[in-house]
Amino acid sequence: MSEIRIVRTIHDMRAQVAAWKAEGLRVGLVPTMGALHAGHLSLVDQISQKADRIIVSIFVNPTQFAAHEDLDTYPRQEARDLEALAGHAADCVYAPLAREVYPQEFATAIHMQGPALGLETDDRPHFFGGVALVVAKLFTQSQADVAIFGEKDYQQLLVIRRMARDLDLPVEILGAPIIREADGLAMSSRNAYLNAEQRQVAGKLSGILADLAVSDLPIEEAENAAREQLLEAGFTQVDYAALRDGDSLQAIGADSQHRRALIAARIDNIRLIDNMPA
CA pair distance 271, 249, nearest whole angstrom: 20
**Does residue 40 have an active-site annotation?**
yes
Catalytic residue selected from 11, 40, 111, 126: 40
Residues serving a catalytic function are 40
